[in-house]
Amino acid sequence: MSADTERHEIAVARYFEAWNAADAGTRAKAVATAWAVDGSYTDPLADVRGHEQLVAVITAAHEQFPGFAFRQTGSVDGHHDIARFGWELVNEADGSAPVAGFDVITLDDEGRIRSVLGFLDRVPAGAA
């Protein structure tokens, strides 16, 4: 495994830790670990910057989809300070995954996320 590959995989693992953090305190710490202070997240439903706004977006997803968890699909593909990966939002009770997409991240020199560009491939009616 190359140093870049390991760096990308660590960043993506931290990303999912933040999205799957169950409570506000853990979520805030996970966001601070994963994202740069001025890090951003942009997808068709959100465009936010900074830890406080990132925590708010993640909290809103938990409120909209209680009992669901984000899971990586496939492997991380990356080069330089850029990586992409697929994900799905899985119902922990029945295993269904009504929401899926892929994200492209850029990293800072410390391996923290500077930006996320998210794309939604599957969204249930009324969720967007």
b or e along 40-68 (b: 16 or more beta carbons within 10 Å of the residue's beta carbon)? bbeeeebebebbebbbebbeebbeebeeb
Q: Which two tokens stand for residue 52?
A: 């406080």
Q: 69 near 90, Cβ under 8 Å?
A: yes
The amino acid sitting at 25 is G
- Sign of the torsion angle spanned by Cα atoms 15, 21, 26, 28: positive
Name the residue with tokens 């492209």. 104
Q: 73 near 88, Cβ under 8 Å?
A: yes
Tell me the per-residue pLDDT of 84-107, one tens digit each, with 9 for 90 and over.
999 999 999 999 999 999 999 999
Tell me the per-residue pLDDT of 19-56, one tens digit each, with 9 for 90 and over.
999 999 999 999 999 999 999 999 999 999 999 999 99
Q: In whole numbers, what is the pLDDT of the chain averaged over residues?
A: 95
Q: What is the per-residue pLDDT for 124? A: 82
Quick one: what percent of the chain has pLDDT higher than 70? 95
